[in-house]
A and B are shown apart, each in its own frame.
Chain A
Amino acid sequence: MSAGQAAENPFIHCRGVSKYFGNFKALDEISIDIEAGEIVCIVGPSGGGKSTLLRVLNALEPIDSGEIQIDQIKLPGSRKDVEDIRREVGMVFQQFNLFEHMSIRENVTFAPRMSRKMSTENANELAENLLRRVGIAEQIAKYPNHLSGGQQQRVAIARALAMQPKAMLFDEPTSALDPEMVAEVLDVIRELAESGMTMLIVTHEMGFAKEVSDRMLYMSGGRIIVDSETQEFFQSVDNSDLNQFLSKIL
């Protein structure tokens, strides 16, 4: 695929997306295009709308105006469109959100069985492979509350991958972790990045963002203030807001 074609058909496309909570404008006319295989990290102050942006991309929150298109499927759309988009886009949450009453195996096989109608046998095999990939195959029969935070987040990543999504959204995947567990989760995300997955990652881990991302977004007040190629973002972007933010966090 040539660069020209890709630009006409971005994998994720947002045009003028706004989202209100009551009278509060959480997203203010967001427009971005993300190419297939691109890795984009989003940074910015708390309350800036980062989580909301990821949530509208997965149709967890309806949008009030504008348009989203992911792999040719449009939002707002029918219930089927919403399910189709969710099948294409996996999501990992800050608080893991594993199903507490299900074993690790059930957590990972649930979506392929229910949503992709995969046989239990195939789903089990898939789960074993994915859990091996994230390094916790031996925990498969346990329940989430018997795992450490880092292990739970790796299960959550495996659970999202079990849908075989084309893109992954990460909402501060390491923010709820004890410091010593951050690395094991970042390693898994790094491995995914190398495999060519399209990813949108909200993070405060600047070193990690700098290392894996192709592009950086700085969000504040519901807007994308800076959208720039990674190297440029850290070296030469001249935005007082961003510079202040970076000097505080780095």
Chain B
Amino acid sequence: MRFEWDQLIRYGPELLQAFGVTIVISAISLIIGIVLGMIACLGKLSGQGGAYRLSIAFIDFFRTIPEVVLIFWVYSCLPLLLSVRISSEACGVIALSLFSGAYLAEIFRAGVLAVPRGQVDAAHALAIPRLHIWRKIIIPPAIRRMMPAFVNFLTELLKATSLLSAIAVAEMAYVASILGAKTLSYFEFLSAIAVLYFILIFPFSVWARRSEKKLLQRTGH
């Protein structure tokens, strides 16, 4: 067997475009997921009432169902339910945003709960207004503590975009399989995207590991 570089070169622009789609869909889903995650995190931290129960339900539900089922559900059922047409890209973003929101809510919550309670008490005892306690006492150390888990999640999200090939979103995995079928150069295209995924995701893995190490050094346990 011969590695057909010319096929890769011919379809290079398509592959690069798909690489871009993967990044853009991840980025939009991440941003919406961060917003959803913050809301659900605050809801769960509130500890009681309607917002609390709703947040728990949201987090538990979307963390439990398999991502592929969620993707198919949004793609096949949501348009019927709302009786609107939704593009497959939008469906992908919706599904991955819900998935991200649920996971990030727990990551944020763990970060907030890891901030030593005594520091929050001390801030209250100093008559610091609640908003400033969040902005200056809770959030900065919470971000530092949640960073490894957050970056790890980012790698999961980038990988999860490949599942969108199931609903024909033109991201890397889908485009590679289509080009493979068209040219019968499966080996070339699938190897190429494996390398591209690695280039995209590996730096985040390294970052996650580094930030974890730094955190361990800083907190000492």
Q: Which residues of A contact B (CB under 8 A)?
A: 58-60, 83-84, 86-87, 89-91, 93, 95, 97-101, 110-111, 114-115, 156, 159-160, 163
Q: Which residues of A contact B132 (CB under 8 A)?
A: 114
Least CB distance from A46 to B in Å reads 18
Least CB distance, B218 to chain A, in whole angstroms: 8
CB of B128 within 8 A of CB of A115, answer: yes
User: Once A and B bind, how many residue pairs between them come within 8 Å at the CB atom?
Assistant: 61
User: Given A100-B141, A101-B144, A60–B129 Cβ distance below 8 Å?
Assistant: no
Chain B interface, number of residues (Cβ within 8 angstroms): 18
Contact flags (1/0) for B105-141 with A, using CB distance below 8 Å?
0000000000010110111111111001000110011
B124 adjacent to A97 (CB under 8 Å): no
Is B144 in contact with A163, judged by CB distance below 8 angstroms? no
Evaluate contact between B127 and A101: CB separation under 8 angstroms.
no
* 5 sample A-B contacts, Cβ–Cβ < 8 Å, listed by A number: A90-B125, A100-B141, A101-B141, A110-B128, A114-B128
CA distance A111 to B128 in the complex (A): 6
**Distance A159 CA – B119 CA, assembled complex (angstroms):** 12
**Dominant SS among interface residues on chain B:** helix
Known: A97-B118, A101-B144. A86 touches B124 (CB 8 A): yes
* Shortest distance between the CB of A58 and any CB in chain B (Å): 5
Q: Is the CB of B122 within 8 A of A99?
A: yes
Known: A101-B141, A101-B144. A114 touches B121 (CB 8 A): no
Q: Are A86 and B121 in contact (CB under 8 A)?
A: no
Indicate which residue in A87, A93, A97 contacts B127 across the interface (CB closer than 8 Å): A87
B119/A86 in contact, CB under 8 A: no
In the assembled complex, which residues on chain B have CB atoms less than 8 Å from the CB atom of A159? 122, 126
Which residues between 133 and 159 of chain B lie within 8 Å of chain A, taking CB atoms? 136-137, 140-141, 144
Q: Are A60 and B126 in contact (CB under 8 A)?
A: no
| Chain A CB within 10 A, most for which of B119, B122, B144 | B122
Q: Which B residues lie within 8 Å of A86 (CB)?
A: 124-127
Residues of chain A with a CB closer than 8 A to B122's CB: 91, 93, 97-99, 156, 159
